[in-house]
Amino acid sequence: MIQRALISVSDKSGLEGFARHLSQMGVELLATGGTYKLIEGAGIAVREVSSVTEFPEMMDGRVKTLHPRIHGGILALRGEKSHVEAMEAHSIPAIDLVVVNLYPFEETVAKQGIARADAIEQIDIGGPSMVRSAAKNHQHVAVVTDPEDYGRVLDELQRDGAVGDDLRRELALKAFSLTAKYDAAISKWLFEQDRASESDFPQAFAQTGSKQLALRYGENPHQAAAFYAAPDAVGPSLANAEFLGGKALSYNNLVDLDSAIALACEFDEPFACVLKHNNPCGAACGDTVAAALADAWEGDPLSAFGSVLAVTRKVDLAAAEFLVSGNRFVEAIAAPSFDEDAIERLRTGAKWGKNVRLLACGPIGRAVASKKPTTKALNGGFLVQSADVSDEGNGNLEVVTKAAPSDEQVVSLLFATKICKHVKSNAIVIAKDRRVLGVGAGQMSRVDSVKLAVEKSGDEIQGSVLASDAFFPFPDGVEVAIDAGVTALLQPGGSMRDAAVTEACDTRGAAMVHTGVRHFRH
C-alpha cells in the first residue's frame, strides 16, 4: 500500500494532476522547496520535508533531504523487526513512493558560455541519493523519475491500491539508469573542462545514452538493435536530427547517415556526398545543392542506387527533381532542412518516395563539426581517441617532386583528401574539379585500392588528382595511377621507400605533395 509519498522534482510537468490524484487516494504528501510551493499553491494537502526532519532547508537548498528520517523511511525493510523498531524509536515515517527527478545539469552545460560555478550548482546531491535509496529498496518502495510514468503508477494504484512488483522493478531499473547517466554526464563534462591535452584521458571513461529508437533488427535480421542518443550530443547528428518521415530507420541506415553527416561537415560550400556501405562512392561541390548532387551521383551511378545522401544546403525543389528523375533510388537524405515543395516532390515523384527517410539536421559545416573524442567497441572493452580534425591547408603541403601542382590541382587535392578521411582504409580517392571520379576502399593492399579507383574513374581520369590516406609503401600504386592519367598526387609520406615513390612520379612528370598527416579509417 502507498500511504506516504515524497515528491521533489525539477521537471514539474504533470506534477499538479499527479499530486492531486495521490492526495484524493489518501496518500500523504511530503515535498521540498519549489515542489512544495506548487502543490500547496494548488490547494492540495502537503507537508514540507522540514516538518519531518525538524531541520530547515539550508545552504541555499543544498541540504534538505540528507537526513536519517528521510533515508530511513525510504530504506527500511518493512518486514525486518530491527528496522521497524529503529523507525519507531527515532520517529521515522515510512515513505512508500519517491517521486524525484534531478537538477538539469546536462541542459545547463549544453548552453554556450555557462560559468563553471553555475554548472557546479546544477549537480544534484539529494535527488540521486533519494533515487538510489528508493531503487535499492524497490521491494517495498516505488520510485518515479520520469513524468511519463505518472499515469502508469496511478492506473495501478486505482486498480490494485498498490504499485505491483513488475512495475516497481521496471521503475527501479529506470532510476539506476538515470543516476548512472547523470553521473557519467558530470564526469565527462569535468574531464572535458579540465583536460590538459588531446592525449590526456581519465582513468575511468563513462559512456551512457538514452534509448531513442527501437530498431527492427541490427546489421543483419537475426541481430537485435536500438539507437541510444548521447546526453551531450551537439551539432548535426542523428541524436539531434528531426525525422521528417519515411520508412523506419534501420541500423545500417543510421551507420551510413552518421558517416555521411561527418563527411559533409568537412565542407562549408554547397556539397553533396553519396554513401554506400559506409563509404563515399561519390561526392562533389557545386554552385547549388542540385548541381553538387548531380556531380556526386556521377561518381559511381551504379553504386549510388540505394545509397544514403548528405548535403550542406537546404534541399530545394531543383535538388528533389534531380533525385526523382531517371532510375534513381535513395534510402535516406540528411540535410540542414527541406523546402516544403521539395518534400512533396520526393514523396510523390517516385515509386520509392513514401519510403525515403528525410532527416533535417540543422546547419552542416566545419564550424559545427563534432570535435569530441570518439569511441569504438571491442570485445571486452572499448577504445577512445581524439577526433580526426586535422586540416591540411596549402601551408601544410610539402612539394617533394620536381613538378609542383598548379593552384587548380591544389584545390582538387585538398578536396580529395577531405573525402579520403572518410573512406575505409586502404583509401584512395581520384578527383577532378572538386568532384570524385573514383574511390578505392578497404583493400588489403594499396595498389589494389588504386586499381579500383582507376577503374571507377573511367575516361575522365585524364588530368585528375589522387589522394591517399596513408603512405605508398612501394612505387607500384603511383605508377598505376599516373599511367592511367593522374597528374598530381597527395599522400602523408613517411615510408622508407618515399624516395623511390617520388622518383616514379618524377620519371612520369607528375607532381606529388606530402602532408605529414595520416587518415586511416579502420
Q: What is the dihedral of CA 233, 286, 288, 300, to 10 degrees?
A: -80
Residues 258 and 115: their CA atoms lie apart, in Å, by 31
- Do domains 223-368 and 395-514 share one topology? The answer is yes
Contact 37, 46 (CB under 8 A): no
Which superfamily does CATH assign the domain made up of 4-192 to? Methylglyoxal synthase-like domain (3.40.50.1380)
User: Can you list the alpha helix ranges (DSSP code H) found in 42-97?
Assistant: 50-53, 68-75, 81-89
User: Can you list the alpha helix ranges (DSSP code H) found in 349-436?
Assistant: 407-420
Arithmetic mean of pLDDT, 475-487: 96
Residues 373 and 387: their CA atoms lie apart, in Å, by 5
Neighbouring-strand partners of residue 282: 274
- Grade residue 395 by pLDDT with cuts at 50, 70 and 90: low
Per CATH, domain 395-514 is 2.120.10.30: no
Contact 45, 63 (CB under 8 A): no
Judged on CB neighbours under 10 Å (0-12, 13-18, 19+), 193 is: exposed
Q: Which three cell numbers stand for residue 104?
A: 538539469
Residue whose grid cell is 579500383? 452
Residues 465 and 491: their CA atoms lie apart, in Å, by 11
pLDDT tens per residue across span 20-30? 999 999 889 99
Q: Where are the domains of the chain?
A: 4-192, 223-368, 395-514
Query: Is the pLDDT score of 475 beyond 90?
Result: yes
- Grade residue 351 by pLDDT with cuts at 50, 70 and 90: confident
Catalytic residue among 21, 83, 136, 140: 136
Judged on CB neighbours under 10 Å (0-12, 13-18, 19+), 57 is: middle
Query: Is the pLDDT score of 263 beyond 90?
Result: yes
Strand duo 4-8 + 97-100: pairing: parallel
Residues 248 and 253: their CA atoms lie apart, in Å, by 10
Question: Does the annotation count 138 as an active-site position?
Answer: no
Catalytic residue among 247, 277, 314, 372: 277
Residues 248 and 42: their CA atoms lie apart, in Å, by 43
Question: Does the annotation count 140 as an active-site position?
Answer: no
Instruction: Tell me which CATH code domain 223-368 carries.
Output: 3.40.140.20
- pLDDT above 90 covers what percent of the chain? 65
Contact 304, 283 (CB under 8 A): no
Lowest mean pLDDT among 17-21, 97-101, 140-144, 227-231: 227-231
Judged on CB neighbours under 10 Å (0-12, 13-18, 19+), 197 is: exposed
Q: Taking the CB of residue 471, how many other CB atoms lie within 10 A of it?
A: 18
Judged on CB neighbours under 10 Å (0-12, 13-18, 19+), 383 is: exposed
Per DSSP, the chain holds a count of helices (H) and strands (E) of 19, 21
Strand duo 47-48 + 28-31: pairing: parallel
Lowest mean pLDDT among 49-63, 124-138, 147-161, 345-359: 49-63
Strand duo 511-514 + 142-144: pairing: unpaired
Query: Is the pLDDT score of 341 beyond 70?
Result: yes
pLDDT tens per residue across span 212-243? 999 999 999 999 999 998 877 878 999 989 99
Arithmetic mean of pLDDT, 95-100: 93
Arithmetic mean of pLDDT, 284-297: 96
Contact 410, 440 (CB under 8 A): no
Contacts (Cβ under 8 Å, ≥6 apart) of 463: 432, 485, 487
For 332-361, b/e burial (b = at least 16 CB within 10 A) is: bbbbbbbeeebbebbbeebebbebbbbbbb
Residues 343 and 242: their CA atoms lie apart, in Å, by 14
Average pLDDT, the chain: 90
Total-model pTM:
0.83
206 or 403, greater pLDDT:
403
